[in-house]
Amino acid sequence: METNRRRVRLVWYGLLAITSGVLALAMLPPVLSAPLQAVVRDGFAPVCHQMPARSLHVGGVPVALCDRCTGIYVGLVLGVAGTGWGSDLWGMIGAYGRYVFLGAIVPVGLDWAGPLLHLWENGPASRILTGLLFGIVAASYVTIRLLRRKARASGAGGPK
């Protein structure tokens, strides 16, 4: 039984290491040489527009993600971490979890659509915060399901 719990915990450690590593990699360009900055940016280009005006800068050099994607990636780390350390919020939400997950997309969509439709302007703070909310919810939703699946497969029971 203890071995099975360790296996579930190892899955969580792996998810936390992967999400943290990807976030750290995205934050590296300000401390890298120009050729390495280009390699990192190219790696993140398929998932992020990386517009310098909409990206965090460290020492005048933009990171490899825009504000919203930075919020999402930080949220992914926090969502995975919170799922492994915290109480089972998704268990309390029960069958409505998918609606919470889908609802987390709404603020991101509104923040994106407002300026596009000339209804309001957004800024770095709104882009980061809406991305953060979505990242936390998405990561915790997926993580708890992966941990439950691993627990059932290994016979550990795991979070319900």
pLDDT of residue 107: 96
Interatomic CA distance for residues 107 and 102, integer angstroms: 10
pLDDT of residue 4: 82
pLDDT of residue 87: 61
Q: Coil, strand, or helix at residue 59?
A: coil
**pLDDT tens-digit profile of 94-107?**
788 889 989 999 99
pLDDT of residue 1: 58
Other CB atoms within 10 Å distance of the CB of residue 140: 27
**pLDDT tens-digit profile of 120-146?**
889 999 999 999 999 999 999 999 889
Range 64-95 burial, b when 16+ CB lie within 10 A, else e: bbbbbbbbbbbbbbbbbbbbbeeeeebeeeee
